[in-house]
Amino acid sequence: MAERDADAPGDAPRGASSGAPTGSDARIADLIAAGPTLSVEFFPPKTDEGAEQLDRTVRELEPLSLSFVSVTYGAGGSTRDRTRDLVVRLNKEQGYPAMAHLTCVGSTRDELGGLLDDYDEHGVHDVLALAGDPPADGSSAGGDFTYALELVELVRERGPQFSVGVAAHPELHPRSTDRSSDRDHLAEKLRAADFGVTQFFFDADDYTSMLDDLARRDCTTPVLPGVMPLSNPAGIARMAEMSGASFPTGLAARVEAADGAERDRIVVESAAGLCRALLDAGAPGIHLYCLNRSPIVLAVAREIGLR
């Protein structure tokens, strides 16, 4: 179990419901069950300046008493050590659990098993089990894995101390051949996992119709919607193209045409509106893509009254 400062912010009750589990050793699956949760995604910084920015963001987000954070894993394991070090540090220093993203395509069972054992030793027990992407040039990735479900099974072999999340794509995975088989695979993966976290999307109907598709397959595993405030329309348009998500060109044009406080107002109101619609539709919490910055997250959280 990770050492913690008894005065860490997460030791205070958090979450909308009393009796919710607290502290960095709480399993995210249990936090979601007691939700609604509020969480953010970080990426491991590459530079000293980026590291300072992230430390500042972590401090600035403390008043939110976040339920948990997650840390991305660079394509093909390119950030393996930086992801690992950041997850272990946040889990130890903050009052919330930090979830490690982990991809399996191109890796061996021994490599990933060793990393999971290392996380276990350091008190990190929350993993987002992902396939990752095969090489763009169509060559073989090698390794022992093809699909994320196989990584879920590897984590499960470690024991019940781990809580496992998986990715969900409300607008279908970009490599899927058809809606029905994509949803079948998603339902099977979610049944093996504890919860899902979605790719970003901008229309609440995409989320609710995915849940309807899953319910028709008797899959009721909770799925947290991932919400991306449109603070950087050009960058997010590129990400949407890669991930197969629709892009709100009208909203992007309004953001681009504004500046300063007005631009922030449009970004916050649109993201908060989506969050409200999702919570009204029964979402078990909100996972915000924050790009390692705090101001928009703080404003959205205030708008939706989740903290």
Query: Which is nearer to ligand FAD, 25 or 133 (by Cβ)?
Result: 133
* Residue 176 lies near ligand FAD (rule: CB under 6 A): yes
* Residue 303 lies near ligand FAD (rule: CB under 6 A): no
Q: Which of 8, 33, 51, 75 binds ligand FAD (CB under 6 A)?
A: 75
CB of 151 to ligand FAD, least distance (A): 8
* Residue 148 lies near ligand FAD (rule: CB under 6 A): yes
CB 27 within 8 A of CB 34: no
The closest of 255, 247, 189 to 221, measured between CA atoms, is 189
Query: Which is nearer to ligand FAD, 39 or 57 (by Cβ)?
Result: 39
Give the active site residue among 3, 41, 60, 121: 41
Is 111 catalytic? The answer is no
* Residue 103 lies near ligand FAD (rule: CB under 6 A): yes
Q: Which residue has the tokens 């990770």?
A: 2
Query: Which is nearer to ligand FAD, 36 or 226 (by Cβ)?
Result: 226
Query: Which is nearer to ligand FAD, 235 or 305 (by Cβ)?
Result: 235
Per-residue binder mask for ligand FAD (CB under 6 A), 208-247, x = binder: ------------------x---------------------
Query: Which is nearer to ligand FAD, 171 or 300 (by Cβ)?
Result: 171
CB of 219 to ligand FAD, least distance (A): 14
* Residue 131 lies near ligand FAD (rule: CB under 6 A): yes
* Residue 73 lies near ligand FAD (rule: CB under 6 A): yes
Strand 163-168 versus strand 195-200 pairing type: parallel
Per-residue binder mask for ligand FAD (CB under 6 A), 185-214, x = binder: x---x-------xxx---------------
CB 243 within 8 A of CB 173: no
The catalytic residue positions are 41
Applying CB under 6 A, which residues contact ligand FAD?
72-73, 75, 101, 103, 130-133, 147-149, 167, 173, 175-176, 182, 185, 189, 197-199, 226
